[in-house]
Amino acid sequence: MSDPAAQAPHGEGHHTNYVKIWGILVVLLVISVLGPFLGHPVVTLFTAFGIALVKAYLVGKHFMHLSLERKWIGYLVFTMLALMLVMVGGVAPDVLKHDGLGWENRAAKQSVEQGNAAGEAAEKAGHGAPGAAPAGEHH
């Protein structure tokens, strides 16, 4: 009698314990949720991004079977990045402006005006910009 794994197509001979992987993902989720409660920025960044990368790898490898579709991964990643650049390029001109055809971002304009007014008041008071040397002095 021959080995069933030897007759199976590429990648199907490996048995994955999905419940075990799911359990690992749940534990990592709990760690990533509890990490920010410790109040340490490095721990928060590690739990937010480091564990997210590990979870993405586990899901991609064990549930999405990406190792079976290697040649398509590059095409998909390239297409995704190209579409993201198109989206950012398409919305950036509107997001970076304070007004346009039929719309106006009053809150952004007001914030800029308040900042300009505060800067002018500081200059008149002789303080200059925060961290700047007083007029006439050069360091």
Distance CA 55, CA 63 (A): 11
Q: How confident is the prediction along the chain (139 residues), in pLDDT tens digits per residue? A: 444 444 445 445 556 688 898 899 999 989 888 888 888 888 888 778 888 889 988 888 888 877 777 777 778 889 999 999 999 998 888 777 777 777 788 888 888 899 999 999 888 887 655 555 555 554 4
Query: Is the separation of the CB atoms in 134 and 122 below 8 Å?
Result: no
Q: How many Cβ atoms from other residues are within 10 Å of residue 122's Cβ?
A: 14
SS3 of 87-136: HHHHHHHHHCCCEECCEECHHHHHHHHHHHHHHHHHHHCCCCCCCCCCCC
The domain limits of the chain are 1-64
